Structure 1
Amino acid sequence: MIACSCRYRLFFSFLIIGWTFSQSVTAAPKPNIYQANSPDTKTRIDITVNDQKELVYRMWQADEPVLNWSGLGFQLDAVSVGQAVVVKKQTAHTHKEQFAWPLGENDVIQNEYNELKLDCQSGSVSYQLIVRVFNGSVAFRYVLPKQKEENVGVIRQEYTTFALTDAYTIYQYNEESVFTPTTVSDLQKSCDFPATLTNGRFFLTIGEADNREYTKSVLTAGKANNSLAIAFHNDSVKTTTGFQTPWRTISVATSAIGLHQFSDLPLRLCTPTSPTVPAWIKPGKLIRSGLSTQGGLNCIDFAAKHDFQYIMFDAGWYGAEFRTTSDPTQVIPAIDLPKVIQYGKEKGIGVILYVNRVGLRAKLDEILPLYKKWGVAGLKFGFVDGLTQEGITWLASAIKKVYDHGFILDIHDNYKPTGLSRTYPNLLTQEGIRGNENNPDAFHNTVLPFTRFMAGAADYTFCYPNTNRYFTDNLYKTKLQVSKGQQLALSVVYFSPLQAIFWYGNPTDYNDEGEIEFFKRVPTVWNESQYLVGEIGKVVSVARRQGSTWYVGSVAGLSDWTGTLPLHFLSSGKQYKATIYDDDAAGGIRKQVIDLKPTDSFPISLKAKGGQAIIIEEKN
């Protein structure tokens, strides 16, 4: 059955779902092994009940094992679901769609998979295991349909494991920490999703999608050698009839840059609220304002001059953010907010307001209609609870409320995306990253594209230096650990539909227009993206296109980088002009313009901690 409405055709989308696909999702020759293959048949999952009556799975890529037999299930109250298992029924179907995504790294997303659903019984608990196999990826989740008892129970722990076939290195981190490459066999700490691993030949990312009512889960060392297990951060999970766990995902590539094709997997695993992205949701760049009327007006002038779309009043605009006496319906006397908002509307610049968790929990339902009346464009949530079931469930409901009231949204601190921007596209970005305000080093910066960004957009909060001495000496606890050229390049390498470009400092202190010209021109959403070169923690180069113009960001880690960049992304037979922004010898930016052809070999020579940003345009 093909469902294709006029509305879908306008956005180049089509959907084919619903029929059994016996050729690609079939029972294997051995009666109690169930298989699902990817559309290209190269990725496969096997599921079986082993001799101990446990439900287990393994994953294959191109006829080579990626995971050995690994555990499935969870503890529901006193019942070990996944043990003493009987598979009662299997059903399968295929899904093929293409949907427009104007807020992403590519403006069209292909979503094709084969699904296998197993109806299982484990003791007194009936449940379903739903598996989807994409090209290069496997995803699965557990579903609790209606039980004999009305109260379903509490998930005390999850038994999902990942039995690696070899000794792998995992890039361990938690929330906003640095990365520590660690062999899995030596892993002592937990690691957040998404987690990236490599044995030098395969590159794996283990992730999570569609978490809207679970708790935070992490990866820990499993009981078996070279294995990982899922653990809860600090609480258990209350369930109800029809409860669904988040998707657990495993993606595999043969190169670090090959992982990029899976960065939209969380979006593909979430359900949209609307078939199209509402027109009122506008991506863009922002500058953070000082907490005064004049500061806001100056930022609006700066934003309008430099093709930014938003300014933000951050913590403090309604008082000390952690005090219960601070009221997010009341503005401090230093800010004439109606004046700033009106001036912004005259200049085409929106105003975003920060609200801390204390104020959000107390007054979310009150501030949303009030801010709409004020003319506010968006909100930033601060110090949210993305660690517990209660906090994550509250956040999902709050995201929906903000969407229903017509605001764009940025969530900060420990919260990381799981694809909910597909459901509520007003959620443009979130933190859950060690950003530029912490002055991370070039190793960290060249690990991020292959790790945290596999989950989706991240607000890195660029802290580009300016000429104000107070800014340089006081607002940086340590001096910037990378070059200015690297910061320019990272605005291409790092994806976020809402980019905070100038996080610290007064806009009147940015006096070198030649240095910040690239920030004026660079977009935040893209028609097409390609990773050109990349080694985790060493180098990365990304090309992204908007319209007919390409933007290329290249970044070196802690060592010098000399090589060439492929230009295969350019259209053959056309002539191009490249504007190159490099680090100069004096700590500034050097600009040069050269001619390019797609057949040219583009040399790159970056000093350690340096970067290069390029704009490539077709010549008339």
Structure 2
Amino acid sequence: MKLKALIMLFLMGSVSLMAQKSYQLQSPDKKLQVVVTVGDDIRFSLTHDGTEVLAASPISMTLQDGSVLGANSKVSKVLKAAVDKTIPSPFYKKTEIEDTYNEMTFAFRGNYGLVFRLYNDGMAYRFTTKMKNDIIVVNEEAGYNFSSDHKTFAPYVNSQKATFEEQFMNSFEQPYVHEPITKLDSKRLMILPLLVELDGGKKLCITEADLEDYPGMFLNNLTDKPALKPVFAPYPKVKKQGGHNNLQMLVEEREGYIAKTKGTRAFPWRVFVVSEDDKQLADCDMVYRLASPCRVQDFSWIKPGKVAWDWWNDWNIYGVDFRAGINNETYKYYIDFASEHGIEYVILDEGWSVNLAADLMQVIPEINIQELVNYGKSKNVGIILWAGYHAFDRDMEKVVKHYSDMGVKGFKVDFMDRDDQEIIDFLYRGAETCARYKMMVDYHGICKPTGLQRTYPNVINYEGVHGLENMKWAANTYDMPLYDVTIPFVRMVAGPMDYTQGAMRNAIRKNYAPINTEPMSQGTRCHQLATYVIFESPLNMLCDNPSNYRREAECTEFIADIPTVWDKTVALDGKIGEYVAIARHHGDNWYVGALTNWDAREVELDLSFLGDGNYKMELFRDGINADRAARDYKKEIIPVPADRKVKVKMAPGGGWAAKIYR
């Protein structure tokens, strides 16, 4: 009996093996190759020029009716296509994007499919369905497997709570741990993007794109093997108002599924960006390429720019003859400052509406918004209003119409702190509603971008970053310069970042302290200046107060002049966690920025992208004493060398920034 059983098991295994079939697809440059195996399950593996990126990894989707898309799949059709086109990209780091890829589309019996897309810089896949009625997705499964225990740059959720259910509520802003996959904390969720260090110096950055009508993806390692698996927040079932100033909706109970959605649709892209050199990650267009095309016919009214910001500096202006605070006199001072420097906007952050009311139609008596809008208009400065999530969502149409009619230019919406299907639907509703009333929207307190800024270009920025606001309270053990030279290779792969830089109080490592009302930055003054070139941010804050900026005329003039959207971007050099250098072009000028961690560093930048001709360079470099007094800098105007080689020397926590012109 035992021998017979063994023979039967061998035969069953042989039949299963014989039933499997493999399909291959290469990138246009033939370096990336995906192998998709269809049998009892669906698995894919990915290699880059002989280097394993992902070992065979199973993928599937479970529906509430019990069907599992990916189990015992029967292929009915496989189509391959090669695409080579360009995508216009307004309000981005370049005016157009090359969209060149090879695609393999599977149709399976059961009215579902899979699409694999290979670019030279990465791979993406997504499920598709063609079902008549709505479907309920219980879960989307995957095991992203590795043959080696690679090190990662992994950001955990910033919730320390015990269960995933409690961790789903978080602000999506957290520094990175640099640990092997198996050493990651299996009891904590990790947010995207997440980076894996492969063999030979190559990198894999995992994220997602075209996230619509579906929850965002977390990652987790649940085993002692080098593998990552996705986790999704189930749909909210019971909620109550609460959280920060009563402006959030807290989930008390969730459904047994992650999404209820249309039966005929394409699901979000699972994105795997692969780089041979770290600097390639600092100029990646994958998420923008994969996003749904623009749905706004006329976007001529969308005006990116800079914002004089109040909250970080705690309205702490000085040298005036009125009491500073949340009042019209203070905001007129901000407007005057913005007007003097060609800064396009002033934001009224939290405090202008009645606290705890969660009602944006209730304005405190010290604020007259129409008066500020009119005053700003006379100075060519627009007004943007901060809005807590629930206050904005509870009567969105009325609120948006009211303030649009008043002349307000947009909203900064904050404290969503979730990315379940309900919140993702809110992001799209907010974008569409604001677009109808010609209003921009900056989504703060939310997950990383997934391409919504292409679909609705009035979505002008996203947070999902551990930005400079944290310097108001972060312990002196926190390392901000390290984070600053990590995010260009990880978080920024997903898209723009509402990082909110521009501090005029700057501290060397041992001198930093968190001071909520008069905050400072870590690193040098030139580090702050360079972030305006390095970080993508179409709506970019000047976080310090106008009184401080007026004492720092050279630096203020320089950062006020830097554009926020670009014609071209060139990633010059960099190594994740160590340093980065990027050049960006707008109009007639180039801007170049470089950042380092707490290590003093000298790098040579190749400016050959300038081409022929004579150029001048207005540069800001760390002063000789910047390692002692972080605010020390030197401004120079010099000719660009004929050989186009420029040596950049940076102090610990330092930076370097330049404007290049004819």
Once the 2 structures are TM-superposed, how far is the Cα of residue 275 of structure 1 from its aligned partner?
A: 8.2
2:181 counterpart residue number: 184
Establish whether residue 382 from structure 1 lines up as the match of residue 414 from structure 2: yes
Q: Does the 8 A contact of 1:171 with 1:182 survive in 2?
A: yes
Which of 93, 100, 104 is residue 112 of structure 1 equivalent to? 100
| 1:150-161 matched pairs, under 5 angstroms | 150-155=133-138, 157-161=139-143
2:290 counterpart residue number: 269
1:460 counterpart residue number: 499
Once the 2 structures are TM-superposed, how far is the Cα of residue 508 of structure 1 from its aligned partner?
A: 6.6
Q: Does the 8 A contact of 1:466 with 1:505 survive in 2?
A: no
Q: Which moved more, 1:376-385 or 1:285-294?
A: 285-294
| 1:415-564 matched pairs, under 5 angstroms | 415-439=447-471, 441-465=480-504, 474-475=515-516, 479-501=520-542, 503-507=543-547, 510-564=550-604
2:10 counterpart residue number: none
Establish whether residue 134 from structure 1 lines up as the match of residue 178 from structure 2: no
Letter in 2 for 1:560: A
Q: Distance in 1 between matches of 2:224 and 2:24?
A: 24
2:509 counterpart residue number: none
Once the 2 structures are TM-superposed, how far is the Cα of residue 376 of structure 1 from its aligned partner?
A: 0.7
Deviations 1:134-182 (A, max 9, x none): 12211111122115xx452332x32222222433211111321111111
1:198 counterpart residue number: 197
Identify if the C-alpha distance between structure 1 residues 419 and 476 changes in structure 2 by more than 3 Å, giving closer, same or farther: same
Q: Distance in 1 between matches of 2:215 and 2:136?
A: 15
Q: Distance in 1 between matches of 2:488 and 2:594?
A: 12
SS of 1:177's equivalent in the other structure is coil
1:329 counterpart residue number: 361
Q: Does the 8 A contact of 1:198 with 1:204 survive in 2?
A: yes
Deviations 1:377-425 (A, max 9, x none): 1111011143211111122122111112111110001332000111100
1:300 counterpart residue number: 335
Identify if the C-alpha distance between structure 1 residues 347 and 274 changes in structure 2 by more than 3 Å, giving closer, same or farther: same
Once the 2 structures are TM-superposed, how far is the Cα of residue 474 of structure 1 from its aligned partner?
A: 4.1
| 1:396-407 matched pairs, under 5 angstroms | 396-407=428-439
2:73 counterpart residue number: 85
SS of 2:608's equivalent in the other structure is coil
Letter in 2 for 1:498: L
Q: Does the 8 A contact of 2:181 with 2:226 survive in 1?
A: yes
Q: How many residues align?
A: 572
Letter in 2 for 1:581: F
Q: Does the 8 A contact of 2:529 with 2:555 survive in 1?
A: no
Establish whether residue 221 from structure 1 lines up as the match of residue 206 from structure 2: no
Letter in 2 for 1:108: E
Which of 63, 68, 73 is residue 55 of structure 2 equivalent to? 68
Q: Does the 8 A contact of 1:61 with 1:136 survive in 2?
A: no
2:370 counterpart residue number: 338
Q: Distance in 2 between matches of 1:473 and 1:557?
A: 19
Establish whether residue 98 from structure 1 lines up as the match of residue 97 from structure 2: no
Once the 2 structures are TM-superposed, how far is the Cα of residue 326 of structure 1 from its aligned partner?
A: 4.3
Q: Distance in 2 between matches of 1:96 and 1:591?
A: 44
Once the 2 structures are TM-superposed, how far is the Cα of residue 577 of structure 1 from its aligned partner?
A: 1.1
Q: Does the 8 A contact of 1:39 with 1:114 survive in 2?
A: yes
Q: Does the 8 A contact of 1:277 with 1:425 survive in 2?
A: no
1:288 counterpart residue number: 309
SS of 1:75's equivalent in the other structure is strand
Q: Does the 8 A contact of 2:581 with 2:592 survive in 1?
A: yes
Identify if the C-alpha distance between structure 1 residues 579 and 273 changes in structure 2 by more than 3 Å, giving closer, same or farther: closer
1:14 counterpart residue number: none
Q: Does the 8 A contact of 1:583 with 1:590 survive in 2?
A: yes
Once the 2 structures are TM-superposed, how far is the Cα of residue 206 of structure 1 from its aligned partner?
A: 0.9
Q: Does the 8 A contact of 1:152 with 1:241 survive in 2?
A: yes
Q: Which moved more, 1:527-536 or 1:268-277?
A: 268-277
2:633 counterpart residue number: 589
| 1:28-47 matched pairs, under 5 angstroms | 32-47=21-36
1:609 counterpart residue number: 653
Q: Distance in 1 between matches of 2:592 and 2:125?
A: 35
Q: Distance in 2 between matches of 1:505 and 1:261?
A: 31
Once the 2 structures are TM-superposed, how far is the Cα of residue 344 of structure 1 from its aligned partner?
A: 1.4
Once the 2 structures are TM-superposed, how far is the Cα of residue 233 of structure 1 from its aligned partner?
A: 3.9
Q: Does the 8 A contact of 1:42 with 1:136 survive in 2?
A: no
Letter in 2 for 1:190: L
2:9 counterpart residue number: none
Q: Distance in 2 between matches of 1:277 and 1:192?
A: 34
Q: Distance in 2 between matches of 1:255 and 1:604?
A: 20
Deviations 1:344-363 (A, max 9, x none): 11222111011111211212
Once the 2 structures are TM-superposed, how far is the Cα of residue 495 of structure 1 from its aligned partner?
A: 0.6
SS of 2:336's equivalent in the other structure is helix
Q: Does the 8 A contact of 1:285 with 1:524 survive in 2?
A: yes
Deviations 1:197-247 (A, max 9, x none): 113521111110011211121111264732221112455222331143210
Structure 2: stretches of 5+ with no match in the other structure: 1-18, 158-171, 236-257, 316-325, 472-478, 507-511
1:58 counterpart residue number: 45
Q: Does the 8 A contact of 1:172 with 1:190 survive in 2?
A: no
1:232 counterpart residue number: 232
Q: Does the 8 A contact of 1:163 with 1:228 survive in 2?
A: yes
Q: Distance in 2 between matches of 1:571 and 1:278?
A: 33
Q: Does the 8 A contact of 1:515 with 1:588 survive in 2?
A: no
SS of 2:609's equivalent in the other structure is coil
Which of 21, 37, 48 is residue 48 of structure 1 equivalent to? 37
Q: Distance in 2 between matches of 1:68 and 1:487?
A: 41
| 1:2-41 matched pairs, under 5 angstroms | 32-41=21-30
TM-score if structure 1 supplies the norm length? 0.87
Identify if the C-alpha distance between structure 1 residues 163 and 203 changes in structure 2 by more than 3 Å, giving closer, same or farther: same
Q: Does the 8 A contact of 1:257 with 1:532 survive in 2?
A: yes
Q: Does the 8 A contact of 1:137 with 1:251 survive in 2?
A: yes
Q: Which moved more, 1:240-249 or 1:449-458?
A: 240-249
1:162 counterpart residue number: 144
Deviations 1:497-525 (A, max 9, x none): 11012x24344763220232211211111
Letter in 2 for 1:464: A
Once the 2 structures are TM-superposed, how far is the Cα of residue 472 of structure 1 from its aligned partner?
A: 9.4
SS of 1:444's equivalent in the other structure is helix
Establish whether residue 256 from structure 1 lines up as the match of residue 278 from structure 2: yes
Deviations 1:318-360 (A, max 9, x none): 121xx2x342123221122112111211222111011111211
SS of 1:73's equivalent in the other structure is strand
Q: Which moved more, 1:447-456 or 1:85-94?
A: 85-94
Q: Does the 8 A contact of 2:20 with 2:38 survive in 1?
A: no
SS of 1:176's equivalent in the other structure is coil
2:14 counterpart residue number: none
SS of 2:485's equivalent in the other structure is helix
Letter in 2 for 1:438: N
SS of 1:532's equivalent in the other structure is strand
Identify if the C-alpha distance between structure 1 residues 281 and 151 changes in structure 2 by more than 3 Å, giving closer, same or farther: closer
Letter in 2 for 1:366: K
Q: Does the 8 A contact of 1:385 with 1:392 survive in 2?
A: no
Q: Which moved more, 1:188-197 or 1:355-364?
A: 188-197
Identify if the C-alpha distance between structure 1 residues 483 and 333 changes in structure 2 by more than 3 Å, giving closer, same or farther: same
